[in-house]
Each structure stands twice: as structure tokens, then as C-alpha cells.
Structure 1
Amino acid sequence: MLLKSLILLLSLLILPTSSAKEFSEHAKLFLVGGGLKTCSSMSVNQCLSTKLIESDDKSQALYQISKESIDLLFQYWPSDHLERQKKALKPLLEKMRQANKGVLNKSQLRRLWIDNGGKKLINQLADREYYLMLDALELGLVNDKDFRRSERVSLANTKNQFSREIFESFTQLAGLKAAAKGKKAPDILVVTASARDPFEAVDFYVDVFSQAGAAVTWLPIDAGLNALWQERGQAANICHYLEQYQADKLGTIKRKFVYPDHFLTQQQWCQSPQRFINAIQQADGLFINGGDQSLTLQAFKNKDGSDNALLAAIRKQVDSNQLVIGGTSAGTAVMSGGIYDNKPIPMITNGRSAAALVRGAKADVLPSAGCQKDNQCGDVLNEDLTFNSQGGLGLFTWGIMDTHFSERGRQGRLVRLLEDTETRFAFGVDEATALVVAWQQMDTITMQVVGQTGVYIVEQGTGENKGKTLTHFPTRDDVIKLQHGQLSFTFADWKSPVVEKSLTQNFADIFEGENYLVAVDALCRASAQKQKLVSHYNESEIQISLLKGKNWHNGVGKFSTPSGEKSYCSYQNVSFYYQVN
């Protein structure tokens, strides 16, 4: 097996030089599976050294319980919701205020409510009310000179070299767009609309892409602002309503005190909507953060489901090869949509594998986060597989996108979603990994895996494989081509077909953590032709059989990184069968 050194830029060495250049120049999507562990003042455990972190950097959120913050919380508490908890929470917070009127970090705040007998009550709050409470109690880290402490990134000091590579690779692709326009450095827009608090991650993304070599601007769109425009128009004098819309649509409050500079920036852009379009037209890259893809979608769609002006401008720039779009986690999942093989491409919104295989997929419903705490889930449970039948942004039209894939055992949910929606292809991207997608004609696309692990592909078989669910797992540096409805794979030139060992792994539940990844890696390296696995959901046992097809191939290789060697086993054509007992 071949060794290959880690290059912290997009590596396309398995393609001929001319093909690599063409691929990079026509790359339009950069789809990351989340899990970008990056050194920053808020994540010092991800740093090689903490020496670069300064005392005035933001290292944690701080809170204080005051009469005003308690009143603010209940001013925004959703009507007729969690009334019992609401009634009990007010005296608890008052008791906590009397016990400690000082400034607290999150751990100290949690200890305070536990010491005052509030653990059970706080645990009974649904996510919306819990985060609303934290918003109300949070302090703005602003001094008397209007200096706000901000999160600071140290990309070069990041432990996980694959995370660093992802940010630098996206910046490099945006740089190719910029170079074609005669610019020295790329202009990258960052979108934080996937988060319930769209202000929180602005500092991080602006800093990380600046350190990667780009000129970075926050594009301050979110579901609240888009709803405001939809309902009240785009006159400058309506922007003072934005706070209320963000409270209603996002469940976030008090942000102008916590992030006054970002709040002012968004107000200024709100008053000049054409500024958004101009920024998109001038950008070389646009990157969407993680969080909730349903919130991202609400930021870019009109009420009737059509593109708003921002998404229309983005689509035009992508189609003309002027802009590369990136996303991580929810920012990747939201890319699915459109029509492929005469079938609409849905957007996945929720679900765990075992529950999905037993209970199936549910269209156009979404459980409220934490709904089980107040018996508000109804027929849709927190672990249920759900999807938006109208899809997401529709920038990736060839299949369903999923993320945090191998790390969270999501293989089962993607198999079931393909089955229930009769979608042809689905792609599950692992953490700190990206699927780079390039095309000139829509019927022929080329994709490459960049970063830490791989991309799990599920395919509904055709021809002699009709009725079968096929799975493939290209890993780092592998190339996938989808042409006229057919997938083909070229494994990296540092991988070779190798059979190394026999199957030995046994797992109580194959969808717990990375169990599936580990088990199937063993099958990939073994002479065995099949593997039997098991999972459980409540009283049901799920029996899973994996069978290598006659066109099965693998590619095994090792890759050296500063932290040591990483071994890969790519494969294609493993059939997935399951039975629920």
C-alpha cells in the first residue's frame, strides 16, 4: 500500500493534470459533513497550543439573573405553551437571583439551578423555551468603549488537520473563481442562517476564512429577515420590526445587546436590500453554516416555495460558474432539491436509523426539538425520520444529501428515505470531509472526496440490479462520475485492491456511533462475501445483511498526516438488505 503526505489544499492527483485543472475550475459545490473541529478562543481544546489566545478574546458566554432578564423571558414566552413549567420557572429564577446576583458562566448557572432544586424543571423545558431562557439571561461582552469581545480563530493552530484542509480547500476553489475575474484574493460571503442565533457564529466564520486567505463579508440574511420582507415589503422603515420577527421565527431574543455591532450591520443591510444582491454578484465563494436546514431554507424561499431574490441571484452565479457554494452540516443538507430521474429530490430534516427502518419516513412534518419533555410530539417522535417533500435549495439536484454520517450511524435512515421516496441516489458525507461537485453539463457531473473520511452513497439499482439497494463508500481522493444516470468510481492512485483479514467484529447495535463504519471497513478488507449485523428499536430487532455484488471492488491505502497514518478502504457495490422482527 502506498503512503501519501497530507497536503492542506485540494488534491486532485488521481486525475490527469488537465482534468484536475478543469475539475477545479468548474467546481460549483463544496459539501461538508460537519464536525469541523477548529482552534478558537471558544474551543481551546481543539488547539495545538493556547499561547495565541488572548485575554480579551471571547472564551465563553456569560449570564446574570436580574429582574429585567426574568421579565424579558416571560414577555417572549410562547402563549399557551408549557404553562405548568412557566408557572414554576418564575419563582425558581427569582430564588436563583436572590442566591447569586453576580456574573456566571454556563457551568455556574447550571450549578445554581441544581442547588436551588431546579434540575427537574429545567430538564422539562422544550428546546425553544430553554434557549429563550439562556438568551434572556446572557450578557453582552461590551466594555464602556464599545469594544465587544469576539471569538478568535487560530486556523494554523488547529489540531485536526483535516478541518484546516477543508477551510483552505474551499478558499482555494473560490480563489480560482477570483483569478478568472482578475482578482488577487477571493471574496467569500458567509451565511449563518442555519442557526437559531444567526449572530453567534459570525465572528468564527469571518475569522476562519480570513485566515485562509479570503476577503470575507457576512451576508446577514436569516429566516426572520426574509419573513419580514415577505410580509411587510422592503421599505427601509420596516426594519425596526426585525427583532420581533427573529423572536417569532428563530426563537432568539436580546441579540442587539449581546452582538450590537452585528445587529447594527444587519439593520443597515435590511434598509438596503439591493446590497445583498450586489454582494452575491461580486462574490467568488459563499459558505453556509450548520444548524437547522429548515431555518436555512426559510431564509431563501418565498412563501409560495419559489426562490427569493437572493437565491435567484446565487443560482444565476453558480450556473455561470462565477461562484462556488459551500456548506457544512445543515448547510450541506439544505442543498438537495429539484428533479432527478423524473422524481422530486427531498430534503432530509430529522431521524435516527433504527427508528427509520422500523417506523418509515414521514413527509412534511418535523418534531419540535425536545417535544417529548412535555408530551407534545404527537405522532412524530424526536427520533423519527422526516423529510421536506419539496426539497431544499435545489443547488444539488442529483440526490439527497446527509451529514455527520458515519459518526452518527445514519446509514439506515438514508436507506429507508431512498426506499420510501423512490429517490435514485443519496449521499452521506462524513465529518471533516467534503464532497466537491463539478459540472459543465447537468447530465455529467464529477465529484471528489476531500478530507478526513468518506461519502456513503446509496443507490436504487436499475437493470440487473433492479430491486436492490446498493451502497458505495468512496473515501479520501476518490473520484465519482455520474453520467446519464450511471455511477462510476476511480479510487485514488495510492489505493490498491487488497484483501487483508477475516471478519471478527460483533456489535450490539450497528447504528450506535461509528459501529457501522468499523464493521463495514472490516468487510471491505475481508475475503468474506457477506456480513450480518443487528440493531434494535424498542421491542423490534432489525436484522441487516450486507452482500458484495459481482461488480464489487475495493481500494485500500494509507495516508500519512502530522498526527500519524490513517488507513482507508473504499468500496463499491455492496447490497443492503434489512428485516424488522
Structure 2
Amino acid sequence: MTSPMKSILKKAATVAMLSSCSVAAFAKPQLMLFADDLQVCSSERLRYCNSESRESLSKDTYKQQPIYQITEEGLGRIADMAWTEQPDIRAQAVELLNAAKKHFNDEAFGQREFERYLRRSDFTLTGSDISAREFWFNLFDFEQRNFFDLLEQKQANGKRRRQGEVDVQGTRNWVTKEAFAQLLSDAQKIADAKRKPRVAFITGGSRDPYRDVDYYQSLFEQLGFEAHWLAIDGAMQTVMSAQDTKLCDSLADYQVSKLASFRRDVLYPDLYQKQQKLCRDPEKLYNLLRKSDAVFIADSSPLLLYHAFYKNANQPSELLTKIQDMVAKGQLMVAAQGDAVHALVGGKNNATVLSGDGVQVLTGRPTVYSNGFEACRLGVDCISVVNSRELSYMQSGVLGLFNWGTLDTKVAKYGNQPRLIKTGIDNSSNLIFGLDSDSYARISSESDDGEYMQMQVFGEGGLWLGDLRQSNDSMATAMQFGPFDSYFLTHEDKIMLRNDMINVELAPWKQAINTTTAGPLVNSSTPFSRSNYHKLGQMQCNTGAATASGSTDIDSQRFELTLKASGATNMRKGVLAKGGKRIGVCSFARISTQILPKAL
């Protein structure tokens, strides 16, 4: 464990570092959106550390990434426990592990090492013509995760479970450090200057609600928060809704059914016992929330978050109702990260995006759920829904805190614009918002009715916005999307919504770009492949081209993307010099966007 003096010195260094981070002047925020990759350096996240911190945290005294070992007890669990619905798969898995045991010589290993071994293996399973490699990669995602659960080993020093260690100062990414510094500053505004701000963090949208508790506890304390784990998840909510405290004794069984998570009570006995105590006395859980200035929701499944915050009758829990009430009164701010951002949605015609990948979402019929219980009731089914490549969404929000449109994430990095556009149009959303990687956004609403909203974007990525209100009638045509105005905001840009009007303030340090019909031709042969949609828009923005276009064939259908500038278009570019880097950024507003089917 870290010595008390070392912890004090690390906290002091963190405070000094955070005070040097730029914190934006802004109205008291209600919400913050964090990209999934804004991760702080820790013993479990070494790739986010600088070289010095990586070396100091790579010690056996700290909790590392999960480790696995092939033991006789583990083989028994694989053979006997219902981690898959097919008994023959359990038998084949035991055979595979017996072969792997000879390779690893009873040593512990990580997931990457295990899968690397399988890729290099060439033996076939008894009574089958498939190789061990094919067997493994043909398993469903939830089966692979359950498999590893049953082999995972407790990381301990003697009888004491190892704790993860965080080093905010040693984090490489300046965006991450500024985002969390901003969260601390904003929470302090609610707490006032008399005491430390209090944050309640939620990890219950993950199938393993315990894995990141140490990480966030250490992170927020090092930042300067008084931090508390708000131990709510689908298993806990199921037991609490039954109003029978005796069921708290069987919380581990509910974790298997509701989260598809095995043996968490064995690997994290202290956290399991802590959650059981809160289960038996829920008032203590509510008190943690009432005393908080901020809630942070870790990157997690919006479906599992739904089950954490809704009762069986599809009614919001007391905890969710209290969060909504405190946010409305300015007593609480909420930050969400990664896919948990999707769950913030509320308001009429705004949807919660669950899954979907690639341009093929434009041609298929999406799977639409009215609520989270219709989508799934068991953890394995929830995981299957969100891991699907097919488009699926809920017709309503989960947390009901962001009422201005439908939200999505990783829009530029993974080319998620098609699924966001399709979801927004099918569900009649007025606006669609897509947060990019390596970015964060702050949101405030100063009016009680929510008619006014201000959002500011920060980071090396940005935020994409589509205004679908102007052409809903034209979008009634099958597979025609647009025209509608789109926007891309980069570091320090602002957008304001007031009385259904959109106003954009692009940061003044960026230089205006004049569009010209005589400008260069901007084309892409694969505009919907990964980040190419974003790159096409950036090429148009940087060159001032009046039009950018590209087409892709999918399922015997060609789709053409066209981006057109007009007299109302505003484009600005500049160089972002932060974190020892110089990055070119380009923002645009009111680019007419259209996706049309074309005959092959």
C-alpha cells in the first residue's frame, strides 16, 4: 500500500497540477459529457501513464488488470456451472483448458496472453473438426466473459485484497486532466467554499460493478473530492424492489442473473459486504446521494443502467427521482462517460441508442424497444443487445436529464453518424448530438422550463450536431436522409438553444474560411467507413470547398453523402497548442447534409 506521506505528497502535486489547468468560465453546469477514452493513469490503466508513472505503478503491491489461472477448482467451475446454455461447450472448454494448462505451467496469465496462445494453437477438439482457436472465437461475448469470471484470481497481499493506485499527475492526456479538473471546479460551485465537494460515483452499469470501484475512489480523492460509491446496479435494484431484506443474502445469485457476472463476492469480498449492508438499509444509500454535489456515471451499458434505476413495473426508482429533483433545483450536477452518455437522454421523441455499426444500419429495419424491460430482463440478453451490429434503440430516455435531443458517442472515430441520423429521423428527434473521442462537453440550462441550453465543447476531438427539424417532411421518403443542417464544434466552441433557435459561437482564435464554388473538389470513395465521414467534413472545412461528396454500396444499394456549404455556413480553423502538441482543428456550422439512395 502507498505510505500516508507518499499519498499526501501525491495529492499536493495533483492539486498543484489541477490549479494550472485552464477552467472555463461558465454558468453553473447541470451536466458533463466525457468521452470514453478520457482515462486517468493507474495501475490498471498503464497505457494512459507517462513512462515514469508506468514504471512506478507496475508493481505487485498494486492491483493490476485481471489475472487468470487454470486450477482444479477453476476446471470444476467450467465443467459444472451454467456459464453457457450448452453442456457440450462446457466439455469442450475443459478440454481446451487442459491443453492450455500444459502451456502456462500453472502460471497466471492475462486475457491477451490466453488469446495469443489460442491464435497460435493448431490442435482440434475431440469429436470435432474445429480448432481450439475457432471454438474460442465462435463463443458469444457473454460466454467468453463468463468463462474468464470462473478462472479469475483474487489479487491480494496476504489476506488483504490489493487496491488499485491512481496517478492523476502522471496521466499523459491533457484533455483527461482538464476534464476532471473542470468537474472538481464545477462541483465546488455547488458545495460553496466551506467544504470539499462530494461526489457519488456509479459503476453499476457494468456487468462487473466492483472492478472499477478502487479506481474511482482513488481518482476522486486524489482530485480533492470527498468520494462515495453509490452501489446501485440491476441486481441491487431487483432486490430492493422486492422489499425483502432477506434477499440481500443472495445478492451474488442476482448478480449472475441480472448482470451475467460470476464470483464477484469471492474476488471482492469487502465491496460485496458493503453493498449487502446498503441493501439491508437503503436509506443509507439515499443519504449518500442527498449529501452529494456531483454524480459521476462510469462508462457502461445504457441498458444495465436502465435496470439499475427502474423497478419491475417500469417505474423510476426513488434514487433516480431524487437525482432528477436535485439536478432541477441546482443542488446536483451529473457527469457521464462513454456509452453511459446515451442514458442521459430524456424529453419527447428522444431515443437511447443501444447498438448499431456501419452504413448497413441505413438499409435495415431497426429493433425498437419501448423500455429497458422489453429489451431484456437477464444480463446475458442485455449484453447481447448492446453488442449487436444491427441498429437498436429505446424510444425514450433512461435518466431523463438531457431533454434537447438524442445522444451518441465515438461519432467521428467509429463513424457512428449513420446510426445516429437513422435513429433521430425514425424517432422524430429534433436534434441529434454526437460526442467525439478525446473530448468533453459542459451543459447548463438557466430556465426552469429547459427552453434555454448552453453547451461548450473541449478537447482534441469535438461534437457533431444535426438539426433534423427543417426537413422532416422530405425525410418521409424511404431511405432518404436530409437535407438537414449539421455542425461540428471543436475546442472552446459554444452552442446555445433558445426558443427553438440555434446560435453558435466558434472560438475567436480560429480563423474564418471563405467558401468558393471555384474551390477544390472533395470526394471520398468510402465516406461511411470508420472515420471517413468525419474526414470528408474536415477536408471540406479546411479547404473551403462548396461541396463534398462520396458514395458507398451496401446490400445492392448505393448511398451518396453530400455536404454543401451556403451563404449561411460558418467555417473556422486554427491550431490547438495544448499538452505539448500542435493540432489543427476545423469547426463548421450549417452545412447542408443529405444521404440519398442511388441506383447501381
The verdict on a shared fold, with TM-score over 0.5 as the criterion, is yes
Q: CA contact under 8 A between 1:356 and 1:413: conserved in structure 2? A: yes
Q: CA contact under 8 A between 2:83 and 2:146: conserved in structure 1? A: no
Q: Supply the distance in 2 between the matched residues of 1:290 and 1:349 (Cα, whole angstroms).
A: 13
Amino acid in the other structure paired with 2:436: D
Structure 1 pair 535–148 and aligned structure 2 pair: CA distance change class (3 A): farther
Q: CA contact under 8 A between 1:62 and 1:139: conserved in structure 2? A: yes
Instruction: Please give the residue correspondences for 1:340-379 in structure 2 after superposition, counting only pairs within 5 Å.
Output: 344-364=349-369
Matched, 1:183 2:187: no
How far 1:75 moved relative to its partner? 4.3
Q: CA contact under 8 A between 1:289 and 1:328: conserved in structure 2? A: yes
Matched, 1:484 2:493: no
Structure 1 pair 42–507 and aligned structure 2 pair: CA distance change class (3 A): farther
- 2:316 is aligned to 307
How far 1:345 moved relative to its partner? 1.6
Q: CA contact under 8 A between 1:33 and 1:402: conserved in structure 2? A: no
Q: Secondary structure at the match of 1:89?
A: helix
Unaligned runs of 5+ in 1: 1-5, 13-19
Q: Supply the distance in 2 between the matched residues of 1:529 and 1:390 (Cα, whole angstroms).
A: 37
Q: Supply the distance in 1 between the matched residues of 2:358 and 2:20 (Cα, whole angstroms).
A: 35
How far 1:84 moved relative to its partner? 4.2
Task: Kindly provide the CA deviation profile for residues 124-167 of structure 1, in whole angstroms up to 9, marking residues without a partner as x.
Answer: 111111100100000001232x3222322211111111111111
- 1:398 is aligned to 404
Q: CA contact under 8 A between 2:431 and 2:469: conserved in structure 1? A: no
How far 1:310 moved relative to its partner? 0.8
Q: Supply the distance in 2 between the matched residues of 1:300 and 1:415 (Cα, whole angstroms).
A: 27
How far 1:366 moved relative to its partner? 6.1
Q: CA contact under 8 A between 2:41 and 2:170: conserved in structure 1? A: yes
Q: Secondary structure at the match of 1:359?
A: coil
Structure 1 pair 108–443 and aligned structure 2 pair: CA distance change class (3 A): closer
Q: Supply the distance in 2 between the matched residues of 1:7 and 1:282 (Cα, whole angstroms).
A: 28
- 2:151 is aligned to 137
Q: Secondary structure at the match of 1:197?
A: coil
Task: Kindly provide the CA deviation profile for residues 450-490 of structure 1, in whole angstroms up to 9, marking residues without a partner as x.
Answer: 22221101111338997632211121111111111221111
Instruction: Please give the residue correspondences for 1:235-314 in structure 2 after superposition, counting only pairs within 5 Å.
Output: 235=245, 237-314=246-323
Q: Give me the CA root mean square deviation.
A: 2.7
Q: Supply the distance in 1 between the matched residues of 2:473 and 2:577 (Cα, whole angstroms).
A: 37
Matched, 1:387 2:393: yes
Matched, 1:460 2:460: no
Unaligned runs of 5+ in 2: 1-18, 125-131, 476-482
Matched, 1:91 2:106: no
Task: Kindly provide the CA deviation profile for residues 27-84 of structure 1, in whole angstroms up to 9, marking residues without a partner as x.
Answer: 10001232114322123222122244252112332111223223324544257x3454
Residue among 82, 106, 112 paired with 1:101: 106
Task: Kindly provide the CA deviation profile for residues 358-391 of structure 1, in whole angstroms up to 9, marking residues without a partner as x.
Answer: 21432128699999xxxx99xx993211101132
Alignment identity in percent?
Answer: 22
Q: Secondary structure at the match of 1:104?
A: coil
Q: Supply the distance in 2 between the matched residues of 1:278 and 1:406 (Cα, whole angstroms).
A: 40
Q: Supply the distance in 1 between the matched residues of 2:346 and 2:399 (Cα, whole angstroms).
A: 6
Structure 1 pair 470–177 and aligned structure 2 pair: CA distance change class (3 A): same
TM-score computed with the length of structure 2 as normaliser: 0.85
How far 1:213 moved relative to its partner? 1.7
Matched, 1:533 2:547: no
Q: Supply the distance in 1 between the matched residues of 2:391 and 2:214 (Cα, whole angstroms).
A: 33
- 1:419 is aligned to 425
- 1:15 is aligned to none
Structure 1 pair 560–234 and aligned structure 2 pair: CA distance change class (3 A): farther
Q: CA contact under 8 A between 2:470 and 2:484: conserved in structure 1? A: no
Amino acid in the other structure paired with 1:514: S
Q: Secondary structure at the match of 1:169?
A: helix
- 2:213 is aligned to 202
Amino acid in the other structure paired with 2:165: R
Q: Secondary structure at the match of 2:40?
A: coil
How far 1:205 moved relative to its partner? 1.6
Structure 1 pair 249–537 and aligned structure 2 pair: CA distance change class (3 A): farther
How far 1:505 moved relative to its partner? 5.9
Q: CA contact under 8 A between 1:346 and 1:388: conserved in structure 2? A: yes
- 1:493 is aligned to 508
The structure whose RCO (Cα within 8 Å, separation 6+) is larger is 1
How far 1:538 moved relative to its partner? 4.6
Amino acid in the other structure paired with 1:254: R
Task: Kindly provide the CA deviation profile for residues 307-358 of structure 1, in whole angstroms up to 9, marking residues without a partner as x.
Answer: 101101111111110111000012211001232xxxx321110112402122
Q: Secondary structure at the match of 2:178?
A: helix
- 2:45 is aligned to 43
